[in-house]
Chain A
Amino acid sequence: MKKNLVKIISLVLVLTGVSACTPVKPWERGNLALPQMALDTDGQEAAFRQHTFYSKESASGGYGGHGGGCGCN
């Protein structure tokens, strides 16, 4: 019985944490859309570096999608 109680309490604790995982709404992305939040500060430089990387390593891609965080691009 005591073992069960521990199980139940730990499960409830874990699930309390899960409830905090909530998607960011489109109108809450103001901070994410700031220029300083961009992964590349300069798009042209990033493209140039990627080009060099591709010719040296023969590997490209895997950098995710683009967009300002507003969910419209």
Chain B
Amino acid sequence: MSYLYKKLVTVCLLLSLSFSVLALEVGKPAPEFSLPNVATKTASSLSDYRGQVIYLDFWASWCPPCRTSFPLLEALYEKHHTAGFKIVAINMDEEPEAMERFLKLYPASFDILRDPEGEWADKYSVEAMPTSFIIDKKGVIRHIHSGFSKSDIDEIEKKVIELLAESL
């Protein structure tokens, strides 16, 4: 086997490997996204929410745990939004109609953004649906939550109250 051939095989093998992206961790700054807001039809970015505690949720209409989470998140938002708590729910549905049908069944007064291409879900290394990130007033990720079951809301509320008490 010639040297050139060996070299080519190595290069091809290396190129065919998919390199794993470094996952986001607790304590790291949240990537600065900019996505269309469903209600206002304008772009919303992370910096618009700076100084507030953010619950950033990646969800889709076909995901059963998301159906569990929405009424509970809505209640949490109603309870704490006056204290500076924001929920930013990023919808991953390819079809906007699917999202609209879901929102008719599970109304939400918090901000819904659209990322049908999954560009920001990729950058946030979302590995399950739903995945949520609790971001503090300084824009640092403080908690990552994968999946959702009813009992999770207590832990989330505890974390939110804790972060709301922190100073900017």
A interface with B by C-beta (< 8 Å)? 4, 7-8, 11-12, 15, 18-19, 22-23, 25-30, 33-34, 68, 70-73
Q: Which B1-33 residues sit within 8 Å CB-CB of chain A?
A: 2, 5, 8-9, 12-13, 15-16, 18
B interface with A by C-beta (< 8 Å)? 2, 5, 8-9, 12-13, 15-16, 18, 58, 60-65, 92-94, 98, 118, 121-122, 126-131, 146-148
- Max chain B CB contacts within 10 Å: which of A4, A19, A30? A30
Q: Is the CB of B122 within 8 A of A25?
A: yes
Q: Is the CB of A71 within 8 A of B60?
A: no
Q: Which of A7, A8, A27, A34 contacts B58 (CB 8 A)?
A: A27
Q: Is the CB of A72 within 8 A of B93?
A: no
Q: Is the CB of A71 within 8 A of B16?
A: no
Q: Is the CB of A12 within 8 A of B12?
A: yes
Secondary structure class of chain A's binding surface, majority of residues = loop
Contacts of B130 in A (CB 8 A): 72
Q: Nearest 4 pairs between A and B by C-beta?
A: A72-B147, A27-B92, A70-B129, A71-B128
Distance in Å from the Cβ of A39 to the closest Cβ of chain B?
17
Contacts of A8 in B (CB 8 A): 5, 8
Q: Which of A11, A19, A28 contacts B8 (CB 8 A)?
A: A11
Distance in Å from the Cβ of B17 to the closest Cβ of chain A?
9
Given A15-B15, A68-B64, A72-B148, A4 and B5 contact (CB-CB distance below 8 Å): yes
Residue pairs across A and B with Cβ atoms less than 8 A apart, 10 shown, are A8-B8, A11-B9, A15-B16, A26-B129, A27-B60, A30-B62, A34-B62, A70-B129, A72-B128, A72-B148
Q: Is the CB of A11 within 8 A of B62?
A: no
The docked-state distance in angstroms from the alpha carbon of A30 to that of B20 is 23
Contacts of B94 in A (CB 8 A): 30
Q: Is the CB of B12 within 8 A of A15?
A: yes
Contacts of A25 in B (CB 8 A): 118, 121-122, 126
Given A15-B12, A28-B118, A70 and B128 contact (CB-CB distance below 8 Å): yes
Q: Which of B12, B61, B122, B131 contacts A11 (CB 8 A)?
A: B12
